Amino acid sequence: MTAPAVSLTVPSLLVLGTDTVLAAAPATPVQLAHACLASGFQAVIPASWGDELIAARALERLRDIDAPRVQCSCPHVSKRLAEHGEAIAPQLLHFVPPPIATAQYLRAVYAPVRPHITYAGGCPAAADEAIDAWLSVAGLMDMLIERGFPVLEQPTEFDSVLPPDRRRHFSEPGGIPSRLALRKLTTPVDLVELRGADVVVDLAQHLLSTSFTLIDASLSLGCFCSGATGDVSAEAARARVREQEPPRAPSPIVDHSMPLVIDAIVHAPSTSPKPPGLRPITAQTTETVPEGVPAAVDTMARRRSPPGISRPGFGATPVRRSDAGRQLPRAFVARRRSSPRSGMRQALIRSRVSSPFAGRPPWVWMAAASVAVLGLALLFRFVL
């Protein structure tokens, strides 16, 4: 008898990009989520979850800051800085874009079941294999209308459904840490948002400074996740996103202990010219990029050398000081092994110097013997 087939329901999840939520106005984010749930998605996840994951990882990397750093978690920023990657690599903080971080987090939460993840938004990072389907903003709106769920006709509150938390704790739109979180670090860090037309020139000026700053170039380059879409200015982009969000959460809203690969590497062609003025401030360990990898964001984990491991040295370091007490360089006490011939010569010299009568004439030996005999004779005479 043949066993009956078991039907498995794969969870269908929708990740709403920041630009999608903004495009739905005047409808609220709650109305948009209601329409998406009614159209067949089992859960609607805000892309701000990815912002939270990236911002928390950035704060970890900024704890030992010694020079300005540039956050690179937007595909537009990665593409703009790819040709300068070798020159400013020590100053870059590489992360995957927020949609990919959100998708990786959802797969870790639902494991071992593999959910079907759809992303709705304009971020070009959605072409990553972590996302199964990609809808444009217009495509999602058209689909909701075709299925009979206009966004403006949906409820403005959640009654019987507990929605995913849309609040933020660490992040700002786009994955940048909030200024409050940056000030709470052991070494407080300032946030600098580049908003000029010439990003490279502004970036070079900030990298050459000695201040502890985190530089964000995503707003001026049109980051969808930051809200810099359409004709919105860079100054008003993030403020417009925050108007659609609930108040900030007092504690983390996602599980940051999940083993996620959200660190990334920005590859740069080795033959690309380096612009003047872009030079690393501090010497850092560079990573070798395999040949054939495209010049884009690669979702590979950055390997770090284990801290505290140094090259072993054999023997103690020689220390030598002059008569005045000044420590002399190592070259003053360096020794090398002598050849056998020179070793024999040194042995002969030492043997000659060790004898007090070496090289004396014969009469000296005779006088010394006479004095010794006379001394013994006098000793025996007085003793006996």
pLDDT digits (tens, 9 = 90+) for 110-130: 999 999 999 999 999 999 999
CB 272 within 8 A of CB 83: yes
CB 13 within 8 A of CB 115: yes
How confident is the model over 239-264, as a mean pLDDT? 93
pTM: 0.67
Summarize pLDDT for 181-238 with one digit per residue, the tens: 999 999 999 999 998 778 888 888 888 888 899 999 999 999 999 999 878 888 899 9
The predicted structure's pLDDT at residue 88: 82
Helical residues (DSSP H) of 62-198, grouped into ranges: 75-81, 85-88, 98-110, 137-146, 179-183
E-strand stretches of 217-333? 265-266, 297-298
How confident is the model over 56-84, as a mean pLDDT? 90
The angle formed by the CA atoms of residues 59, 61 and 62, to the nearest 5 degrees, is: 65
**pLDDT class of 107 with cuts at 50, 70, 90:** very high
CB 141 within 8 A of CB 15: no
Whether residue 349 is contained in a domain is answered as: no
How confident is the model over 229-248, as a mean pLDDT? 90
| Residue with the larger pLDDT of the pair 46 and 285 | 46
- Alpha carbons within 13 angstroms on the beta-carbon side of residue 372 total 6
Q: Give the integer Cα–Cα distance in Å for 229 and 51.
A: 17
Whether residue 32 is contained in a domain is answered as: yes
The predicted structure's pLDDT at residue 109: 94
Whether residue 330 is contained in a domain is answered as: no
Check whether 290 has a pLDDT greater than 70.
no
CB 51 within 8 A of CB 175: yes
The predicted structure's pLDDT at residue 265: 58
The predicted structure's pLDDT at residue 350: 43
Whether residue 384 is contained in a domain is answered as: no
Whether residue 367 is contained in a domain is answered as: no
Check whether 97 has a pLDDT greater than 70.
yes
Q: What percent of the chain has pLDDT over 90?
A: 51
Q: Which candidate, 150, 147, 117, 151, places its Cα nearest to that of 134?
A: 117
Lowest-confidence region among 139-148, 179-188, 243-252, 341-350: 341-350
Whether residue 109 is contained in a domain is answered as: yes
Residue 107 sits in which domain range? Answer: 12-282+290-298
**How many residues are there in the chain?**
384
CA distances from 286 to 68, 90, 91, 267 (A): 17, 8, 11, 12
Q: Domains in the chain: how many in total?
A: 1
Summarize pLDDT for 316-356 with one digit per residue, the tens: 333 444 444 544 333 333 333 434 444 434 443 344 444 44
Whether residue 324 is contained in a domain is answered as: no
How confident is the model over 140-158, as a mean pLDDT? 94
Whether residue 351 is contained in a domain is answered as: no
Rounded to the nearest integer, the mean pLDDT of the chain is 76
Q: Give the integer Cα–Cα distance in Å for 195 and 16.
A: 26
CB atoms within 10 A of CB 103: 28
The predicted structure's pLDDT at residue 379: 66
Cα-atom radius of gyration of the chain, to the nearest Å? 37
